[in-house]
Amino acid sequence: MQNKAYKLNNGIEIPKIGFGTWQTPDGDVAYQAVRKALEAGYRHIDTAAIYGNEESVGQAIRDSQVDRREIFLTSKAWNDIHTFEDAKAAIAESLHKLKTDYLDLYLIHWPNPASVRENWQTRNAQVWRAIEEAYEAGQFKAIGVSNFHPHHLDALLETAKIKPQVNQIYLSPSDQQEGLVRYNEKHGIVTEAYSPLGTGSLLEVDEVKDIAKKYGKSPAQVAIRWSLQKGFLPLPKSVTPARIFDNIQVFDFELSQDDMAALDRLKGTAKGATNPDATQF
C-alpha cells in the first residue's frame, strides 16, 4: 500500500490529496460537500477566507464522526490583509469561523494584491511575521503560500525566520509551471495543485478519455493520478457525491511512463494560470 502522506520540511505529515472548496457556496452546499468528502475518506480539507464558506466547512467537520486531530485543515489570508495587525485579526477570524483552536496549514493567498502593487514585498513580510508568530504559538501546524512565483519567494525569504512548507499553485497537465515547481523542489517546499483537472476542461480532452478507458478509470482520476506521480498534492473540488468519492480512488493504479508523457504533451489545452503580478484583485 502506498504511503498516503507527504512529509513537510518541518516534519509534519500532510495527506497526499486534499478536498478543495473554492467556488463552493456557503451554507448547505459547502456543508454537504465536506460531509461527503469526509465520509469518502478525505482527511485534508482546503478552504480560505475569501471563499466565504469557513463556517459551513467548520460545521461539517464538527458534525462528522471524524476526530479533528485526523483532519488536516487549511485556510488562507486574502488580499485585503496588508499589515501585521491585519493578519493577526484575519487569523483570529478564520479560527473563530471554523470554530477550531488551530489550523494544520495557513497560507498567504496571493503575493501581489492590486491594492499594494508598489509595496508587495513589505506587505508579505508583515503578514508572514504574523503567521510565524501564530505558528510559534501553536495556532498553526504548518505555514505556506499560494500563487507565489520564485521572485516572490526570494523576497519573502530575505526576512522570513521560517521557510514556507507549502506553495499552492494552479497546476495540471495543461499548465505545468515547470520553473516554479523546480524552485519549490529545490527549497523543500511541497507543491499543492489546485484546479488539477484544469477547471474541468481536461475531462473533455480525447487523450485523457482514452487513457482513462485503458485503466478503467475516469478522466478526473487520471488527471489526479498524474499530479500524484509528479510528486504534487492535488486538491480536486466537486459538490457531486459520486465524483467526490471517485476523485480519491486514485491509489490503486499507476500510469505508465508513456501515458505520463502523453499527459505532459497536453500543455496549453486549458486556461493558463493567472499572473500574480497582473491581477486586478
Active site residues: 51
Instruction: Specify the amino acid at residue 82.
Output: H
Instruction: Specify the amino acid at residue 100.
Output: T
Tell me phi and psi for residue 20, to 5 degrees.
-85, 145
Tell me phi and psi for residue 153, to 5 degrees.
-70, -40
Q: How far apart, in whole angstroms, are the C-alpha atoms of residue 184 and residue 186?
A: 5
CA diameter of the chain: 54
Query: Within a 13 Å sphere around the CA of 171, how many CA atoms are in the beta-carbon half?
Result: 29
Tell me phi and psi for residue 13, to 5 degrees.
-95, 140
The 3-state DSSP class for residue 178 equals helix
Q: How far apart, in whole angstroms, are the C-alpha atoms of residue 258 and residue 273?
A: 26
CA-based nearest residue to 45, from 110, 103, 111: 103
The 3-state DSSP class for residue 103 equals strand
273 DSSP 8-state letter:
P
Query: Within a 13 Å sphere around the CA of 281, how many CA atoms are in the beta-carbon half?
Result: 7
Angle between helices 219-229 and 206-215 (to 10 degrees): 90
Count of helix runs (H) and strand runs (E) in the chain: 10, 10
